[in-house]
Amino acid sequence: MLNFGEERFLRIQSGAVALQARLDAVVGACLAAGAENVFFLGTGGAAILMQPAVQLLQQRSRFPAFLDMPAELILAGAAHLTEKSIVVIPSLSGTTKESVAALARLKEIGATVLTLVGHAETPLGKGGDHVFVNFAEDDTSCESFYLQSLYVALSILKYRGEIEDHDAIVAELSRLPGLLLDVKRAYEPKAEAFARVLAGSDYHIVTGAGNVWPEAFYYGMCILEEMQWIRTRPVHASDFFHGTLELVEKGVSVVLFKGEDALRPLAERVEAFAPNYTDRLTVLDTAEFPLPGLSPRVRALVSPIVLATVLERVSAHLEVLRNHPLTTRRYYKRVAY
């Protein structure tokens, strides 16, 4: 595979799987101690990657789950954030300034903070009440963060008695590192063609629904915009028909991500509409990828993880086609802002 280390990928994703038991124990202890809610407080891309876990809890649990921006929380506060809150802060670098500032405020409040980081010797690596370290890099962090946050959500459901097959689901999830590598290998021959679609326009409408909508948002903002300087319009598939559809015409690129959860029909609605008005609809559907040993329920849960692993292959080809390394920045962490 182009510019890709298979052993490194397996090591990183296996590292995420290995955190499950301790995440489960910490969540169980928090609930036993009287935790009343959970906040996922990431910044930028890391925050987006927490959305599927929050959505799962909001759909399946009566335990209040919140997704907030640290920068806003510091300025405005949050009525539900108390000493009885569990707070999950993801940061690959462990140094994200908005999240570090939020950590100081959380310590004043007395909330229990779980930090998910790639480096231990950092402010967030040292500052959390419970620190979970799994080294990763930009091209491998999505799957790791998606998986860790999913484990947190599943454990909350387990200890509240809101899920019956937690252990079976976790057992299936342990197969993911190898399965994801197989997905990458299988998609590699098609990745360049998708990359050519993205390289062929300076504007894309990127859409999806359900738990793959965050990946559409993430890929548009954090990869195409930040890492490739390609303008995008990420829009949820349900909102597509409340404004964005008026921009669809011949030559306009629409990129649709389809997952396997209950909200798949919202994506199918876009898929039925767009070809009538543009000749540039591109669909990436997780249902097309074999994941032997995973039940339909678990396939639905991991759809955003599968998309992330496929899109990494697309990005590897895209940076070569455009002669624009994914590490190139003009402003991000380069100038004061």
Average pLDDT across the chain, whole number: 97
Give dist(CA 198, CA 224) in Å, integer.
Answer: 8
**SS3 assignment, position 175:** coil
What are the CB-based long-range contacts (under 8 Å, 24+) for 99-106? 99/41, 99/42, 99/43, 99/70, 99/124, 100/124, 100/127, 101/70, 101/71, 101/74, 102/41, 102/70, 102/73, 102/74, 103/127, 103/128, 105/73, 105/74, 106/81
**Beta carbons of 204 and 255 less than 8 angstroms apart:** yes
Q: What is the reported pLDDT for 156?
A: 98
Could you say which of 3.40.630.10, 3.40.50.10490, 1.10.260.30, 2.30.30.230 is the CATH number of the domain covering 177-321? 3.40.50.10490
Model confidence over 94-133: pLDDT tens digits? 999 999 999 999 999 999 999 999 999 999 999 999 999 9
pLDDT given for residue 220 in this prediction: 98
pLDDT tens for 175-227 read: 999 999 999 999 999 999 999 999 999 999 999 999 999 999 999 999 999 99
pLDDT tens profile 241-268: 999 999 999 999 999 999 999 999 999 9
Q: What is the pLDDT of residue 150?
A: 98
**pLDDT score, position 218:** 98
Alpha-carbon distance 50 to 150, whole Å? 8
Contact 183, 310 (CB under 8 A): yes
Q: Which tokens hold the place of 326?
A: 């994914």
Cα distances (Å, whole numbers) of residue 113 to 40, 131, 202, 254: 10, 8, 41, 39
Gap between the Cα atoms of 191 and 218, Å rounded:
18
**Which one is the CATH code of 6-173: 3.40.50.10490, 3.30.160.100, 3.40.50.300, 1.10.10.1590?**
3.40.50.10490
3-state secondary structure 301-315: HCHHHHHHHHHHHHH
Reported residue count of the chain is 337
The values of phi and psi at residue 283, to 5°, are: -115, 135
Phi, psi of 62 (to 5 degrees): -90, 0
CA distance 265 to 183: 24
Domain chopping of the chain, boundaries:
6-173, 177-321
Q: Which residues of 234-253 are buried (b: 16+ CB within 10 A; e: fewer)?
A: bbbbbebeeebbeebeeebb
**What spatial distance separates the first Cα and last Cα of the chain, rounded to whole Å?**
37
Answer whether 26's CB lies under 8 Å from 114's CB. yes
Asked if domains 6-173 and 177-321 share a fold, the reply is yes
% of the chain at pLDDT higher than 70: 100
- DSSP output for 245-259: GGG--TT-EEEEEE-
Say what the pLDDT of residue 14 is: 98
Token pair in block for residue 286? 């997780």
Residues 59-76 have a mean pLDDT of: 97
Contact 212, 259 (CB under 8 A): yes
Region of residue 58 (left: phi > 0; alpha: psi -120 to 50; beta: else): alpha
Closest among 256, 312, 308, 303 to 283, alpha carbons compared:
256
